[in-house]
Amino acid sequence: GKRHHQAVIALARRRVNVLWAVVQNRTPFQTRFKMAA
């Protein structure tokens, strides 16, 4: 129900944030991913 909907929104928002950060920094996603991991 509501909890699942909020989880989907959170995941979508997180993905958008990651993509936006990559666009802003103009860095390859792989290097960012390795740094994060």
Per-residue pLDDT of the chain (37 residues; tens, 9 = 90+): 778 899 999 999 999 998 888 888 776 656 656 666 5
- Residue 6 has a pLDDT of 92
| Count of domains forming the chain | 1
Q: How far apart are the first and last CA of the chain?
A: 32
Please state whether the predicted TM-score (pTM) of the whole model is above 0.75. no
How many CA atoms lie less than 13 Å away from 4 in the CB half-sphere?
1
State how far the Cα of 14 lies from the Cα of 28, in Å rounded to an integer.
18
Structural domain span for residue 30: 2-36
Q: Is residue 21 a contact partner of residue 33, using CB atoms and an 8 Å limit?
A: no
pLDDT at 34: 66
How many residues are given for the chain? 37
